[in-house]
Structure 1
């Protein structure tokens, strides 16, 4: 039995970029022919019987076949994340070492204050972790993450576009177009793209703690340094010893000597009046094992645990990929059916989506609602006349919308929802050619009620409506049938 396909973030982004490019393709027939050829020649022969219905396996092989001839932005973005992660690790090591080295400064007049040292090296991390937890738990985290990722995607796209000036014209334009899709990819893959920044941040934290440990051990091994504690309010060493023992509970079961005793705490209590000469050398040296344990348990370990959690969530998100969005279904149907391409006229056959079989149903409606794509707004009077003359509808609602922008036009859709109870049939006038089929599927899903019809309209050079090419009528009919939308198609006739 074959192992399931393992997707990476670069795979997902490259796949989405290819799907988006196919949605914008000016010749859907050529796209369908290409995918049919890939299926027959490169994909189907490599699939086991049980994999032919597995979208993850099929799409992964489709991606591998397309990558050989395509330049894709997903690899750019993941390479950028790797560079960011590597830079974060390097910066964490250097900064942790330098900051700890400064906090460990000892010239013999005053011992290194363990409380100040931990506040600088570990306490700041706790504050940042508390802030991160507050951000994650806040209701605005998702929206803030989306805005951040969109800005990052746009910035990377702009940087890449400026870096491509030396390339030949056609290749430069193509790469710029791919870079422009980074904003769309960020929005579509928010659940996956939100983890790399957190992984990079935890990588910085892990490296920071390693740098602090390196500075501490280097100072202890190669120099003479004294550790102590200071307090004006303390009446004795008992409180400090109790606090030190409480923090050391996590490691003293394994290293019982890695915590100062009460006597050592007392003889490492620094007073300006007595000076450093009054401190016991063994007592001042007894603090460094405790500091190592504190940094490991309360600094490094939480960072490592968070990194593991975010990495696990990232991998779980990749394993949960379902590829069941409308844009994915369009690609799936091109590869495995049931989109049909034939040379017979569209009026032949008995498809339930053919105009002849659905015209009586549409004509029986006394009232109906009309939605016109904005690209056909100039032909609105002709389209409205066609609907009333050919279908006999009394238009209860007529709105201009963008059918490839499903989240827009709230007011128009609200007016449509108000009119539908009394005029339950609706018709959408769509342009030919048209390529954003996935967005169109989301658009009609928002209507969600009544009987739906699609009127395919082409425009001549003067912007006047004309009959569409029969191939486009067939493509629309096949697509709607594959999507199981129950929408019938009409072709505009002057």
Structure 2
């Protein structure tokens, strides 16, 4: 198998294609996804969910690019804009760091560079920012938050990025408008506008890149400062000195320097100014630099460069590496077991079942040719024997029905007595590719909602069934009480199970399992679209 490491661009494209499936015919989706699965090699069919979804995504990308070659998917657009942001951070950091250092190190030969000013501008400010970041992260952790999620800077960069991505995607849609349908363009617009929802769903995975952009700027800023300082030291005669109006002794300055230089105290003494060099580089306003020794005035630059390296560059570089590793680990830990993704995985893994209870042929054996119809003259010779010779039984399915995933059905108590369970079981098997393991009533008079939900959870554990079907009458208006109950059901089951809202039409004299009218389906689709539950799927149980 190829590398299945996911990226943010992959996740965006995955969400994009899943959004395209909203409102599509369930049978068409099942046929398409099953076809993708059957075309995989045996190794791919046995892969886990991340690799299987990756194969599905690759197939969907290939199909779309065949339809519109110039189409730029949102994931690719995201990646390209992100690279632009990284490039801007890199060059801006180098130019700003180098430019500030060059301007600060401008030396006319009359007045040395102020050591305290250089240290404060390029070291002390960064140390204060680092401790401010660490303190904020500690406070946010106590409050149960993450510094990246709550930081105003990262959120502003994220919003700017999302706005730019939306504008670029709008331009891409206009260029591709001649090759895609109006319905597809409408879905593209909805997908481009849903970047905010995707960001909320994945949280840190989408915010960390903007944290890394800031760290890239910080790393490059310090590299620019070091490069400019070394260039000035190597290419020009630069003097460094210190002065203070306060009564500061060289001994106290030397002690402070020793503390600052602890990270590189194991290096030779030439990287740390000695007490005599500190005394020799002190500036006195009325005396100038005429009586100062050149070796003392040049003893400071190794200390300043190592200060920038240890307190500016290395912390930023360490943050960049740690957060990059965390991002890679979190992406590798995605299991895609949420109901939102398991809908697609279920369609891929479930053999196709027609309404006549015949499964698709997934065998690797060649299909036997069907015999041609007999000649009319031959039929006359055989008389009425043709009815005896014709097969009277359906083909043997290639997979046993017990291989289908189990499902628990929740049926309103008021329609449960009229619900034909065997017919329901057959519809679930043929239409959805599940086997009905258990059916339970809800909204009963005898039990409270909490008790009923507890029973569902217990039954789910006992039947080893993840997914739940809720049978609903489409001609009844969707009420807030129902959606409140669905929210409680989701909290009880967790994020992994798929909740199937199976709509049925008005009952007739024979059965309550009837097709849904188009206007009723549209009302339910509009209402369920307002729910923030990607693992919830609305469908017609009986296809007209």
Q: Quickly say closer, same or farther: Cα 1:360–1:88, change in 2 above 3 A.
A: closer
Q: Quickly say closer, same or farther: Cα 1:353–1:119, change in 2 above 3 A.
A: closer
Q: Partner residue of 1:6?
A: 5
Cα distance, 1:282 vs structure 2: 0.9
Cα distance, 1:353 vs structure 2: 7.0
Structure exhibiting the larger radius of gyration computed from Cα positions: 2
Alignment pair present for 1:56 and 2:65? no
Alignment pair present for 1:231 and 2:268? no
Distance 2:409 2:168 in 1: 49
Query: CA offsets, 1:57-100, max 9 Å, x none?
Result: 21112222222123531221122212111110110000000011
Matches within 5 A, 1:2-151: 5-22=4-21, 24-41=22-39, 43=40, 45=41, 47=43, 52-70=46-64, 71-137=72-138, 138=140, 139=143, 141=147, 142=149, 149=158
The structure 2 residue matched to 1:305, chosen from 302, 318, 336, is 318
Cα distance, 1:13 vs structure 2: 2.1
Q: Is the 8 A contact 2:114 2:242 kept in 1?
A: yes
Q: Is the 8 A contact 1:150 1:186 kept in 2?
A: no
Cα distance, 1:309 vs structure 2: 0.7
Distance 1:429 1:147 in 2: 44
Distance 2:242 2:42 in 1: 69
Give the SS at the match of 1:456.
strand
Distance 1:15 1:358 in 2: 35
Q: Is the 8 A contact 1:430 1:454 kept in 2?
A: no
9-18 or 296-305: bigger deviation: 9-18
Cα distance, 1:441 vs structure 2: 12
Query: CA offsets, 1:2-21, max 9 Å, x none?
Result: 68622222222222222232
Count of aligned pairs between the two proteins: 412
Distance 2:84 2:55 in 1: 28
Q: Is the 8 A contact 2:471 2:504 kept in 1?
A: no
Q: Is the 8 A contact 2:93 2:221 kept in 1?
A: yes
Cα distance, 1:224 vs structure 2: 1.7
Q: Partner residue of 1:325?
A: 338
Give the SS at the match of 2:503.
strand
What root-mean-square deviation, in Å, do the aligned CA atoms of Structure 1 and Structure 2 show? Answer: 4.5
Matches within 5 A, 1:367-378: none
Q: Partner residue of 1:399?
A: none
Segments of structure 2 that go 5 or more residues without pairing to the other structure are 65-71, 359-400, 419-440, 457-469, 494-498, 507-511, 522-534
Q: Quickly say closer, same or farther: Cα 1:306–1:358, change in 2 above 3 A.
A: closer
Q: Quickly say closer, same or farther: Cα 1:419–1:322, change in 2 above 3 A.
A: closer
Matches within 5 A, 1:199-210: 199-210=212-223
Alignment pair present for 1:168 and 2:177? yes
Q: Partner residue of 1:446?
A: 490
Cα distance, 1:132 vs structure 2: 2.8
Query: CA offsets, 1:325-372, max 9 Å, x none?
Result: 111110110111277443459xxx9998789x99898349xxxxxxxx
Q: Quickly say closer, same or farther: Cα 1:430–1:102, change in 2 above 3 A.
A: farther
Q: Is the 8 A contact 2:504 2:516 kept in 1?
A: no
Q: Partner residue of 2:254?
A: 241
Q: Is the 8 A contact 1:455 1:492 kept in 2?
A: no
The structure 2 residue matched to 1:362, chosen from 404, 407, 416, is 416
Segments of structure 1 that go 5 or more residues without pairing to the other structure are 365-390, 397-415, 460-464, 474-483
Cα distance, 1:269 vs structure 2: 0.7
